[in-house]
Structure 1
Amino acid sequence: MGRRTFTSTLKSLDELASLGAKVSVRVNDLDRGGTVLSGDDFVTLPVGGLGIVPLLIEVAAQIEAGTLDPLEIIDRSTLERVEVAGVWQHLKAPALPVVDLAVLAAASGDAIAANALIDKVTLPAVRARIEQLGLARSALLDRFRDQRGPDDAPEVALASTRELAQMFAALVNSEAVTAGVSAQVAEWLSLNQDLSLVASATGLDPFAHFNDQHGLLFINKTGRGAGIRAEAGVLAGPRAGVAYALIVCFDDLSITHRLRAHEAFRTLGVDLMEYVF
């Protein structure tokens, strides 16, 4: 491919910003160090299901420490029904072990599975872990809900793209808590099936992309909400490796507005592919 600029991404994001969207982006070069692309990367914005990543880090840390049994069975009937996302609500299995819930949360953004994990490890523990990771502008505020009332947190999670890219870099560099914890969370995230945003430019199979025949290493997590699209991850090819994050908050007034936001993610994906190959 050969081109190593992000002109197309900057143009696309500038157009979104001119239409009133809030945009934040960060790309770090994992091999050379330093920032490849940044724009308002310090701004804290809602990120929806991306809040699952620090939750998974805390789950893996507690399993490694021996304070959480990975095979402990969680009964779905003890949890509030949430239909916003996921597959467990459609399965006949009424109960699953903690490790399977981690897989569901990572692979499909399963809201009930994530809520079950939050109940097990607790929100205060996740918040303490986020602080321990040095993420001052990120937070998992609440469990997943179909409707948010006046007494609920307005968002599931908040983050800045600078810290999201930092967190994913720590995972692949074996620096998120311990090497074992980093490897476990990266393995869970490698199962993520949402390749519809940045990852749509990779050509990877959304259902089986762990061992790509062309040597592309990729892990990611997306977040969605009303007028919210977010993605963070790591993409590595034969020429370079990057940790990236993009958040776009927009007025979801029509399918055109939504597709315009989605196209900005794909544009970043194309530029990232040209950077790593």
Structure 2
Amino acid sequence: MLATSGAKVAVRIDDLDRGTTVLSGDDFVTLPVAGLGVVPLLIEVAARFEDGTLDPLEIIDRASFDRVEVGGLWQHLKAPALPLADIAVLAAAGGDTTAANALIERVGLPAVHARIEQLGLRRVALIDRFRDHRGPDDAPHVALGSAAEFAGLFAALVNSEAVSAGVSAQVAEWLSLNQDLSLVASATGLDPFAHFNDEHGLLFIDKTGRDAGVRAEAGVLAGPRAGVSYALIVCFDDLSISHRLRAHEAFRSLGIELMEYVF
């Protein structure tokens, strides 16, 4: 329905146990993914924490880089400076654009590009920092990616294959705190603020991305019967609330299907 209305939709679901593809549709197409592009940035930060080239307790002052107000909590906090480890939590858990920009400023986009290449990703790119407004001289998007590669990246995280077991575990831990459960995860019934140890045995980590006419999510969902890695990217004309809700419904529908598969 979305595709027939002119939206661009890309989806990929992989069974983690069997190593097979459950569903794919235009999963090779590179599309804008907004905040989902923070995942390789978090991997680079975690890798530097592990090898000692970055101190998790290094204090970063938010006044040292351009202010951005498009999303997140740090801009509303009284604390003008935070340690890098806490900034990574804000970027992963709250989609905090100020925190993400602080990490980009500290490690640099070239390092993230090198890390993406080292991970074997050919259709993923973090190409700019977050901005309140994008002018003609700015990159048109924060990040790009394909559903296939993001689903594969999340599979690598839970399989301890992203850089190292320690790096994979650290990034997975940060992402397990994500509070945006409004898209695919809206079908899980999980508590947005406390879903790390679900009493029903549901394992879930994810990262979402949002921009004008862009919704993206990738993650891992595992239950007693199966586990999957998934990614869904929808680019649509955000002409009205109805258009937006139609896009959101696609994510919820996928979430329902995934819940039935893993349970």
Q: TM-score range by the shorter chain?
A: over 0.9
The aligned residue for residue 273 of structure 1 is 259
The answer to whether 1:122 aligns with 2:108 is: yes
The answer to whether 1:218 aligns with 2:219 is: no
| Coordinate RMSD, CA, aligned | 0.4
Which amino acid counterpart does residue 187 of structure 1 have in structure 2?
E
Verify the 8 A CA contact 2:65 2:105 in the aligned structure 1: no
| Structure 1 portions without partners, runs of 5+ | 1-14
Structure 2 residue corresponding to 1:193, chosen from 171, 179, 194: 179
Task: Please state how far the C-alpha of 1:149 moved relative to its aligned partner.
Answer: 1.1
How far apart are the structure 2 equivalents of 1:77 and 1:138? 30
The aligned residue for residue 9 of structure 1 is none
Which amino acid counterpart does residue 230 of structure 2 have in structure 1?
Y
Structure 1 residue corresponding to 2:238, chosen from 252, 255, 260: 252
Which amino acid counterpart does residue 125 of structure 1 have in structure 2?
A
Verify the 8 A CA contact 2:32 2:214 in the aligned structure 1: yes
Secondary structure, counterpart of 1:244 in structure 2: strand
Structure 1 residue corresponding to 2:31, chosen from 42, 45, 64: 45
Secondary structure, counterpart of 2:2 in structure 1: helix
The aligned residue for residue 94 of structure 1 is 80
Task: Please state how far the C-alpha of 1:78 moved relative to its aligned partner.
Answer: 1.1
Secondary structure, counterpart of 2:3 in structure 1: helix
How far apart are the structure 1 equivalents of 2:71 and 2:100? 10
The answer to whether 1:108 aligns with 2:94 is: yes
How far apart are the structure 1 equivalents of 2:217 and 2:257? 15
Which amino acid counterpart does residue 188 of structure 1 have in structure 2?
W
How far apart are the structure 1 equivalents of 2:138 and 2:237? 22
Task: Please state how far the C-alpha of 1:91 moved relative to its aligned partner.
Answer: 0.2
The aligned residue for residue 63 of structure 2 is 77
Which amino acid counterpart does residue 170 of structure 1 have in structure 2?
A
The answer to whether 1:243 aligns with 2:229 is: yes
TM-score normalised per structure 2? 0.99
**Residue correspondences, number:** 263
Task: Please state how far the C-alpha of 1:80 moved relative to its aligned partner.
Answer: 1.0
The aligned residue for residue 133 of structure 1 is 119
TM-score normalised per structure 1? 0.94
The answer to whether 1:166 aligns with 2:152 is: yes
The answer to whether 1:59 aligns with 2:45 is: yes
Task: Please state how far the C-alpha of 1:77 moved relative to its aligned partner.
Answer: 1.2
How far apart are the structure 2 equivalents of 1:42 and 1:77? 39
| Structure 2 portions without partners, runs of 5+ | none
How far apart are the structure 1 equivalents of 2:137 and 2:246? 33
Task: Please state how far the C-alpha of 1:177 moved relative to its aligned partner.
Answer: 0.1
Task: Please state how far the C-alpha of 1:183 moved relative to its aligned partner.
Answer: 0.1
How far apart are the structure 1 equivalents of 2:105 and 2:247? 33
Secondary structure, counterpart of 1:77 in structure 2: helix
Aligned-pair identity (%): 81
Which amino acid counterpart does residue 120 of structure 2 have in structure 1?
G
Secondary structure, counterpart of 1:243 in structure 2: strand
| Worse overlay, 178-187 or 71-80 | 71-80
How far apart are the structure 2 equivalents of 1:256 and 1:151? 32
How far apart are the structure 2 equivalents of 1:76 and 1:153? 22
How far apart are the structure 2 equivalents of 1:74 and 1:145? 19
Task: Please state how far the C-alpha of 1:54 moved relative to its aligned partner.
Answer: 0.3
